Amino acid sequence: MEYNFREIEQKWQSFWKNNNTYKTEIDQLKPKYYVLDMFPYPSGAGLHVGHPLGYIASDIFSRYKRLKGFNVLHPMGYDAYGLPAEQYAIQTGQHPAVTTKKNIARYREQLDKIGFCYDWNREIRTCEPDYYRWTQWAFIQMFNHYFNTKLQKAQSIESLVKIFETNGTAEIHTSCTEELNFTAGEWKSKTEKEQQEILLNYRIAYLADLKVNWCSALGTVLANDEVSEGVSVRGGHPVEQRVMRQWSLRVSSYAQRLLDGLNTIEWTESLTETQKNWIGRSEGAEMTFNIKDRDFNFEVFTTRADTIYGVTFMVLAPESELVKQLTTVEQATAVENYVAATKKRTERERIADRRVSGVFSGSYAINPVSGTEIPIWISDYVLAGYGTGAIMAVPAHDSRDYAFAKYFNLPVIALIEGCDVSEESFDAKEGIMMNSGFLNGLTVKEAIQKAKEYISEKGIGRVKVNFRLRDAIFSRQRYWGEPFPVYYKDELPYMLDESKLPLELPEIDKFLPTEKGEPPLGRAQNWETEDHFPLELNTMPGFAGSSAYYLRYMDPKNDKALVSKEANQYWRSVDLYIGGTEHATGHLVYSRFWNKFLFDLGLVCEDEPFKKLVNQGMIQGRSNFVYRIKDTNTFVSLNLKDQYETTAIHVDVNIVSNDVLDTEKFKNWNPEYKNAEFVLEDGKYHCGWAVEKMSKSMYNVVNPDDIVEKYGADTLRLYEMFLGPLEQSKPWDTNGIDGVHRFLKKLWTLFYKEDTLIVNNETPGAEELKILHKTIKKVTFDIENFSYNTSVSAFMICVNELFTLKCSKKQILEPLTILIAPFAPHIAEELYHILGNEDTVCDAVFPICDEEYLKETAVKYPISFNGKVRFMLELPADMSKEDVERIAMANEQTLKYLEGKSPKKVIIVQGKIVNIVL
RNA sequence: GCCCGGAUGGUGGAAUGGUAGACACGAAGGACUUAAAAUCCUUUGGCUUCACGGCUGUGCGGGUUCAAGUCCCGCUUCGGGUACCA
């Protein structure tokens, strides 16, 4: 009987489905394990061969854990809201729900072919009302809470109101949009509207006038992580800064906890670093500078308080409030012109064009330590949004300040002994201080510390921590997203009652903004509450639905809560999360924030949502080229192309095999090539190749369906893992898949010789047991370390060795079958049944390595001289060091290599190597 | 600029400081076959030798060590992230 993968895979896929093999339920008797994939956005293009890489890896781990006796939760769903479906809707009029549904069906079909062990009973879609009512619900909770900075946790807004009523703002510890000051009496005398407006200043979900990233091409604002280098991440459209009244989430208040949490989870170093940088904690000092001849002062933030004696000017951001206050009458026109000019430039232009520019304000500040007068300038290299929007400039030790000083001819005072600032600034935090009064003679590090203490003592400033992390803009002027559970009364936002959830997305006639420029929801009929209050027209951003989906999988059908206490107590958090690095600063920040918020409310029992995270590498494309001789329809094979003048043309990789072109298929591929002629080498047309992004335009997209059709799902699974280390980016190269397929066929031949089952019950010998247990040991270790490429090779070695021994013994083959089941579940299930089992291999027991079988009786010692191996010497494994040395030294080959000299030293590493030093 | 990760045969890639190149692809030769496919066997880093063998070899230059692809220092180079963040 041949290895008929088509029949086998179909048979077991329906068996698993019919038997609910992958249905998961709470089982208090078993330890739980939660394995999660980053759920996909179902795009119209379907899956290419790169997408399943992470899914296969997590599938292997899930199956492995199950075989190890864990109750494994391994769910899948769809991140179904998103821009592409809406853009497509605008172009075609096709409702995004329809497109999305269709795409999901296609994804599911493709996923099913690969034989994943997902519990589809738990499937979720972020665009379904049953799901997004909990996204809306979470938003309401955020609206109803504020962040207590002293306790570092969220607390109810009612409790804040109580504080206002008794003490005003005197002793509050909160995150807020701007610092407000009022007494209890003042609070009580305010109108309802005024109070509500004030509370928005503290709520975790708040509405405020903010400087936002506006993308006119997409017609919406974007969060910081959705913008890169001044253009939108999706689509690459220009983004400009605008002030708009928008919903935001006070993510920044969780900055410290988001940072601290990173130490409690097992993520890769690079991802942890990326998040740390994104959060951007910087410890420094906020210092107050008085203005010369005026009763006015302002604050700057600096991490280099030690350089206070080197401040030769100050700089304000053009958008800063201080500009107005500090501009003198004489400078007014110049400043106005400058501010107007900067306003016109987009973020992108400012990034692209780094020419130094600025204008003098006319005012002078007084150095609070040295007492010198310092001119105050205005320049766009200072950002309004960071720190206080004003800096003290130390040109000697900051390259940006240096460039500015040189351009405007401002003085540069070096503060570190021996540094040369004639050509560039000295930015390093090292050396001995000079020209710095009480700091002279200290190292920079000591000086930073001393300066901070000094300014605190003298009341000049205070130690301050700043974060780069900004709040998340949460409004989108789009249709295809979660509606906000918000209505407006007297222009102020109010939350719908939870009983009104879900607030369903209404139908509209066109997926475009209204004539008045309102978001698309402005087109909806009767978009108002029962009491005729208008509902919010914005929708939530893409990351809303993905922020708590891992919790919903624990209890997906619950209509009373996002997740029940019981389910959350049992499944707790994700033990293993697999996905790409592209979510490092978006989803992985937002969902950690979201989870921490729910944790503060006592609704989830773990502070961090994802315990361990593994990033699979990106699968790049591998393109093939043909070479057309100029002005002809003749194509020349790769190694002959230099004899002609040719143009390289992308050719569909699916009509190329091992870089050899199927010339007949090529002629049919494109009418243009119908009469193509070829200059061959050895009768073959060899194509060139290059690694590029996998995309339609490069003709290098490989569809997993085609691989499954040709080789089967098990071959696809094994081959994707065999390609290389999971975390490494690598090109997809179908060359080589034959080797993996051959391996499965070879495994099959251990069971069948032609049509006869040749498995027997003979007792295995020491050698066979050693092969088996060596493989168990290696594969177990590799799975635990996500080194799947080497486990595949371990399987190959094992089967090759058993094949050489002609071993078809059940006692060897059965454990091997279980061992390989996580990787190649279909063939494993078939073989497991062939061996006489009736239940599924998924519930077998993972074999355990018995070290007894691995014991070697003899060791082949490499005998090396000065580190160079010269020959091998087989000796008993338990032979003592002394005996090994004695025998090695007496060996006649040793004598030959000694050339009569006596060795200086002999190193024996027992069981490993002998090194003779001459 | 800063941070992180790489660089090993024709190719993908293996190697707790201890025989570099496992495993696989490709290639070459052979067996079976009328032929092809499939399968099986042999060879396969480079140079050198009839051969035994020898020399050389993990991006470059140093170093530590009995022993370095692996550890340390300094470069080159390719990816990824991030940025007038004070």
**A435 and A416 in contact (C-beta within 8 Å)?**
no
Question: Can you give the pLDDT at residue A756?
Answer: 87
**Residue type present at position A371:** G
Please give the pLDDT value at position A254: 94
Phi and psi (nearest 5°) for A660?
-105, 130
| Other residues' Cβ atoms within 10 Å of the Cβ of residue A274 | 17
- Our CA angle for A346, A347, A350, nearest 5°, is 90
A449 has pLDDT over 80: yes
Phi, psi of A656 (to 5 degrees): -120, 135
- CB atoms < 10 A from the CB of A865, how many? 18
CA-atom Rg of chain A in angstroms: 34
**Residue A252 φ then ψ, to 5°:** -65, -25
Q: Judge whether A184 and A167 are in contact, CB under 8 Å.
A: yes
Based on the number of CB atoms within 10 Å of its own CB, is A592 exposed (0-12), middle (13-18) or buried (19 or more)? buried
Calculate mean pLDDT across residues A282-290: 89
Which nucleotide's C1' atom has the smallest distance to the CA of A909? B18
State which residue has its Cα closest to the C1' atom of B79: A729
**Which nt sits closest to A869, CA to C1'?**
B19
Rounded Cα distance between A314 and A363, Å, is: 10
Residue A338: name the closest of A396, A408, A403, A385 by CA: A408
Domain boundaries, chain A: 139-257+471-523, 282-466, 621-652+667-701, 722-853, 856-917
Residue type at position A507: E
How many Cα atoms occupy the beta-carbon half-sphere of A370 within 13 Å?
18
User: Which A residues between 651 and 690 have a beta carbon under 7 A from any strand B atom?
Assistant: 658, 682
CATH superfamily label, A722-853? Isoleucyl-tRNA Synthetase; Domain 1 (1.10.730.10)
Q: Which residue is nearest to nucleotide B68 (CA to C1')?
A: A867
Highest mean pLDDT among A72-81, A644-653, A671-680: A72-81
Q: According to the per-residue pLDDT averaged within each range, which of A538-552, A643-657, A859-873 is highest? A: A538-552
Work out the percent of chain A whose per-residue pLDDT is above 90. 54
Mean of all residue pLDDT scores within chain A = 90
Q: For residue range A71-112, list pLDDT tens digits in order.
A: 999 999 999 998 888 888 888 889 999 999 999 999 999 999
Average the pLDDT over A507-528 and give the result. Answer: 90
pLDDT in tens, A26-62: 999 999 999 999 999 998 888 888 889 999 999 999 9
Tens-digit pLDDT profile for residues A459-515? 888 888 888 888 998 999 999 999 999 999 988 999 999 999 899 999 999 888 888
Q: Which nucleotide has the shortest C1'-to-CA distance from A390?
A: B86
8 Å CB contact between A397 and A310 = yes
- Residue A351: pLDDT band (50, 70, 90) is low
Beta-strand pair A756-757/A858-865: unpaired
3-state SS track over A737-761: HHHHHHHHHHHHHCCEECCEECCEC
Q: Does position A420 have pLDDT exceeding 70, yes or no? A: yes
List strand B contacts in A 743-762 (CB < 7 A). Answer: 743, 745-746
Tokens of A875: 């000796």
Supply A272's token pair: 């942890």
Give the amino acid at A260: D
CA of A419 to C1' of B2 (A): 21
> Is A348 a residue whose pLDDT tops 70?
no
Report chain B positions within 7 A of protein CB atoms.
Answer: 3-5, 11-16, 18-20, 22-28, 38-41, 54-55, 66-68, 79-86
A630 CA to centre of own chain: 45
Q: Which residue, chain included where needed, has tokens 């993996």?
A: A740
Q: For strand B, which residues in window 788-847 of chain A come within 7 Å by CB?
A: 789-790, 792-793, 796-797, 800, 803-804
Residue A24 contacts residue A119 (beta carbons within 8 Å): yes
The second-level CATH assignment, the architecture, of A856-917 is Roll (3.10)
By C1' distance from the Cα of A785, the closest nucleotide is B16
Query: Please, where are the H alpha helices in A425-467?
Result: 444-457
CA distances from A323 to A246, A339, A346, A375 (A): 26, 9, 20, 13
Of residues A684, A680, A599, the one with CA closest to residue A641: A680
Percentage, residues of chain A above pLDDT 70? 99
**Half-sphere exposure (Cβ direction) of A204: Cα atoms closer than 13 Å:** 28
The complex's ipTM? 0.94
The runs of H, that is alpha helices, within A76-148 are 83-92, 96-113, 129-143
| Protein chain A, residues 546-575, with a C-beta closer than 7 Å to any atom of nucleic acid strand B | none
Query: pLDDT category, A346, cuts 50, 70, 90?
Result: low
Residue A674 to residues A651, A665, A668, A678, Cα–Cα distance (Å): 14, 10, 6, 12
pLDDT (0 to 100) of residue A486: 97
Q: Which residues 270-329 on A are within 7 A of strand B at the CB atom?
A: 270, 273-274, 277-278, 280, 282, 284, 301-304, 317
pLDDT in tens, A853-873: 998 888 888 888 888 888 888
Name residue A426's beta-bridge partners: none
Give residue A888's pLDDT. Answer: 86
pLDDT exceeds 70 at position A347: no
Please give the C-alpha separations between residue A326 and each of A321, A404, A519, in angstroms, as whole numbers.
9, 20, 39
Tokens for A57? 């890896």
pLDDT at A643: 83
C-alpha span between A512 and A96 (Å, rounded): 13
State which residues between 584 and 613 of chain A bring their CB within 7 Å of strand B.
584-585
Q: Which CATH architecture has domain A282-466?
A: Alpha-Beta Complex (3.90)
Whole-angstrom Cα distance, residue A692 to residue A625?
A: 12
Per-residue confidence (pLDDT) for residue A842, from 0 to 100: 97
- The position carrying tokens 């607390």 is A155
Residue A835 to residues A149, A770, A830: CA-CA distances in angstroms? 63, 21, 9
Tell me, what's the pLDDT at A207?
93
Confidence bin at A349 (pLDDT 50/70/90): low
Residue type, A281: R
A378 touches strand B (CB under 7 A): no
User: What pLDDT score was predicted for residue A822?
Assistant: 97
Q: How far is the CA of A727 from the C1' of B8 (A)?
A: 19
**Measuring from the CA of residue A867 to each C1', which nucleotide is nearest?**
B67
- Contact by Cβ (8 Å): A487, A496: yes
Residues counted in chain A: 918
Question: What are the tens digits of pLDDT across the range A221-262?
Answer: 887 778 776 677 777 787 777 788 999 999 999 999 999 999
Pairing of the two strands A868-876 and A610-615: unpaired
Name the 3-class secondary structure at A367: coil
Residue partners of A896: CB distance under 8 A and separation at least 6: none
What is the predicted pLDDT for the residue at A400? 87
Model confidence pLDDT, tens digit, residues A832-847: 999 999 999 999 999 9
CA A826 to chain centre: 31
Query: Above 80 in pLDDT, residue A352?
Result: no
Which range has the worst mean pLDDT, A38-52, A63-77, A770-784?
Answer: A38-52
